Structure 1
Amino acid sequence: MKTISSVVEQYIRKKPFLQSALSQGIINLTSLSRIIKPEIQEELGKEVRNGAIVMALKRLSDDLEFRATHRILKVLKNIGEITVRSSLTDFTFLVSETILDNQTQLLKEVSKNKEVFYTSSRGVNELNIVVSNSLDSVVETLFKAEKCTQKATNLSSITVKLPAENVSVPGIYYFIFQRLAWEGIVLYEVISTTNEFTIIVNDEQVDMAFKTIKDLKNL
């Protein structure tokens, strides 16, 4: 049997931004109840009082704060080392039949110097390569026959090591990227492995991005 509480919860869970705002107590519940009332009534097939929806939202916001935000903050307090690298260049190439061969050659060059930065990711149609700018000429030479759709310079990377339990707690990345978005941080790239992720940002924003991530440990 559907209840007002269950229908309201189902509605909120389909809207992550709204769910986050509720858990932080920054939404006027009375105003929200008026907005969502038509959909709640349609789902239940009957008239519903605003007060009943407000009470359901209040219970849900308290519950969300404990079940979601509390678990996320517990993980974020255990963030490991945060590594910053500067003087990076971000190349984007269209995928081709020869691009992996060229990437293999690049890896051989990277292996000659352990101090340089290198990371790469591949999508369906694009291959992305981020390297120390000392390797710019090497990349441009090896990939001269490839189609470069974008080259961005003056970038920095921030690599964050997450505790192992990050894979079992939903919302970790959403919570982090939400904070970065609130600070107006533009992410050129996001590259992740199981227990760490790297973001690529403009040199001018790296200090703010670093502080934003570091401060998560103290929430």
Structure 2
Amino acid sequence: MKTISSVVEEYIKKKPFLQSALAQGIINLTSLSRIVKPEIEHELGKDIRNGAIVMALKRLSDDLEFRATHKILKVLKNIGEITVRSSLTDYTFLASDKILVHQAKLLEEINNNQDVFYTSSRGVNEINIVISNVMDKTVERLFVDEKCTQKAEELSSITVKLPAENVSVPGIYYFIFQRLAWEGIVLYEVISTTNEFTILVNDEQVDMAFKTIKDLKSL
């Protein structure tokens, strides 16, 4: 049997931004109840008092499980080194039988220049390469026979070192990317390892992206 509390909780959980704001106590519950009332009434098939919805929202925001945000904030306060690199190019190639051979040759040339930034990831159908733009001609020479589906220039990367406990707390990446989305930051790529992740953004947005991530440590 559906209850006001269960329907309200389901409604909030479908709206991540609203869920986070409610957990932080920055929403006027009375105003929110008026907004959600029509949908809650439709779901239950009867008229509902605003006060009943407010009480459901209050219980939800006070619930310890719902407020798992606190665990996330504890991890984010221990964010480690944040490294920024500029003048990057992002290539996307369709996967082929020989593309790994070409990638190996690229790595050989990169080994001769330790100042070059390079990272790569492989999906089912495509391979992504992010590299310092001084290597653009080298990439295009080595991958001349490969199908390049996208090339983005004038990009910067931000690499963030996370504390080891990030793997045991759900929602870390969601929380970070939510803040970036709120600031209108467009992510070209996201590449991660166990305790680090790298985002690729337009040069014009790198300062705002860096500040947004750095500010997470003081929430």
TM-score by length of 2: 0.89
Pair 1:17-2:23 in alignment: no
Output one character per residue of 1:107-143: Cα deviation in whole Å (capped at 9) or x when no partner. Answer: 2222232221110112232211001112111110110
The answer (yes or no) to whether the contact 2:61–2:67 under 8 Å persists in 1 is no
The answer (yes or no) to whether the contact 2:89–2:155 under 8 Å persists in 1 is yes
Structure 2 counterpart SS, 1:179: helix
Structure 2 counterpart SS, 1:27: coil
Quick one: distance in 2 between partners of 1:20 and 1:113? 44
Dislocated runs of 4+, deviation >4 Å: 41-47
Q: Could you tell me how far 1:4 is from its partner in structure 2?
A: 2.9
Q: Could you tell me how far 1:65 is from its partner in structure 2?
A: 9.2
Match of 1:185 in 2: 185
Output one character per residue of 1:160-184: Cα deviation in whole Å (capped at 9) or x when no partner. Answer: 0011111222221121112222222
Output one character per residue of 1:71-98: Cα deviation in whole Å (capped at 9) or x when no partner. Answer: 1110100001111112211111122222
Quick one: distance in 1 between partners of 2:37 and 2:26? 19
Quick one: distance in 1 between partners of 2:71 and 2:7? 24
Alignment of 1:64-213 (within 5 A): 67-213=67-213
Q: What letter corresponds to residue 202 of structure 2 in structure 1?
A: N
The answer (yes or no) to whether the contact 2:29–2:57 under 8 Å persists in 1 is yes
Q: What letter corresponds to residue 113 of structure 1 in structure 2?
A: N
Structure 1 counterpart SS, 2:197: strand
Pair 1:50-2:84 in alignment: no
Structure 2 counterpart SS, 1:120: strand
Quick one: distance in 2 between partners of 1:125 and 1:17? 32
Q: 1:43 to 1:203 in 2, by over 3 A?
A: closer
Q: Could you tell me how far 1:29 is from its partner in structure 2?
A: 2.3
Quick one: distance in 2 between partners of 1:78 and 1:56? 34
Quick one: distance in 1 between partners of 2:64 and 2:201? 32
Quick one: distance in 2 between partners of 1:142 and 1:34? 61
Q: What letter corresponds to residue 202 of structure 1 in structure 2?
A: N
The answer (yes or no) to whether the contact 1:106–1:138 under 8 Å persists in 2 is yes
The answer (yes or no) to whether the contact 1:23–1:65 under 8 Å persists in 2 is no
Quick one: distance in 2 between partners of 1:65 and 1:181? 24
Q: 1:77 to 1:65 in 2, by over 3 A?
A: farther
Quick one: distance in 1 between partners of 2:7 and 2:183? 34
Q: What letter corresponds to residue 212 of structure 2 in structure 1?
A: T
